[in-house]
Copies of this chain bind each other. A is one copy, B any other.
Amino acid sequence: MNICINGTSHTRFGTTNEGIGELAARCCTRLLDDTNLSIDEVGSIYISNFSSHFCAQCHLPALLTSELGVTKESTRVEAACASGGAALKQASIALSSGLYDAIVVVGVEKMSARSQDATSILSYAGSEEERRHGVTFPGLFALMARSHFHEFGTSEVDIAKVAVKNHRNALSNPNAQFHKSITVDDVLNSRVIASPLKLLDCSPITDGAAAVLLSSEEVARRLTDTPVYLTAIAQVSDHLSLKNRETLTSMPAVIKAAEQAFDVSGLTPQDVDVAELHDCFTIAELIEMEDIGFCERGAARELINEGATEIDGEIPVNPSGGLKARGHPVGATGIAQIVEIVRQLRGEAAQRQVPDAEIGLCCNVGGAGGTAVVSVLSR
């Protein structure tokens, strides 16, 4: 069965005074308005949200139906920072069952009110043992970066270039949190968070929502002339703790999910025209490029230095600005990635448009790689 994505919605990422329910509802309403679909035709709503610790709200399914004024099946799906991908996966399964014709998937997080202890809340996506030893996520990704530097000769300058590229891309994304150009020196001179990662290697604290409408091809053909197909989506969880991985320079769940997604789609990494990767920290973008198979292990730095991951390069990565510059409202991130790829495949990405993009890929990662969701989209 062909699953189509025929509508997207994306709030301006940053900070908002709205409640989390209002924020999610506004994003859904905009989605339905833009797609000319009545909420009555939507069979089910999936909500991706990482943690109630940010908003003290543990019943989003009913909060959202309350805000939308509907009586409907509504479900929250969570897999840490890969919640968006996991919610999309559930929606795709539901459409495959034939029990639903149209489904709304909305991702939302409102973090700014808890910016003081956000790193602590985010650490709940790691293992208790790691937290007990004081290792929060910047520390975990710093360990991965140090290992990558040691094993492959990747440098602080190489990873800084990821931040520079993603900030540059975000300049032409009206929904990005940051519209600010930065240089490699800005990154290198920014405050050390967990060596070798500096402030500008890290994704920010963000409020935001993103939504997509998934449907059968029949419904999609009625609503739009430019449907995008969710060709494959694979979700894998393995080890929560870094200590249980054979290497720190790779995320096995990403490798496995990518293998499965390529297997189902009959495509290869070389077929991908544009990718949104999970650059929660700059080093993550390199590791994912290698794990997905855009290059050999250790070779991502070469692609970055050659400009291959720029919008006009061989394999453009994070044209939206990525988590780094678009922002990272955790539960919304996996959906925001899909929104960007859909807009790229439809040719709606304006100044950041990747020319002739036909095949796109999203990689949404939970925690330090304990969960990964890889999606392949095509037009």
Query: A residues within 8 Å of B by Cβ?
Result: 19, 50-53, 56-66, 70-80, 86, 89-90, 93-94, 96-99, 121, 124-128, 131, 234-241, 244, 252-253, 256, 366-367, 370-371
**CB closest chain-B residue, reference A244:** B66
Nearest chain B CB to A105's CB is how many angstroms away? 13
Number of identical protomers: 2
Q: Given A124-B52, A128-B57, A367-B62, A77 and B75 touching (CB < 8 A)?
A: yes
- The reply to whether A77 and B80 contact each other, CB–CB distance below 8 Å, is no
- The reply to whether B74 and A76 contact each other, CB–CB distance below 8 Å, is no
- The reply to whether B57 and A237 contact each other, CB–CB distance below 8 Å, is no
- The reply to whether B71 and A79 contact each other, CB–CB distance below 8 Å, is no
Interface of A is mostly: mixed
- The reply to whether B61 and A50 contact each other, CB–CB distance below 8 Å, is no
Nearest chain B CB to A346's CB is how many angstroms away? 27
Q: Which of B59, B98, B131 contacts A124 (CB 8 A)?
A: B59
Q: Which of B80, B99, B127, B235 contacts A96 (CB 8 A)?
A: B99
Q: Which of B66, B94, B237 contacts A240 (CB 8 A)?
A: B66
Nearest chain B CB to A302's CB is how many angstroms away? 30
Contacts of A128 in B (CB 8 A): 19, 56-57
> Can you give 21 A-B contacts (C-beta < 8 A)?
A50-B58, A53-B53, A56-B128, A59-B125, A59-B240, A61-B366, A62-B366, A62-B371, A65-B237, A65-B240, A66-B241, A66-B244, A73-B235, A75-B78, A75-B89, A76-B77, A90-B90, A90-B93, A93-B93, A93-B97, A96-B97
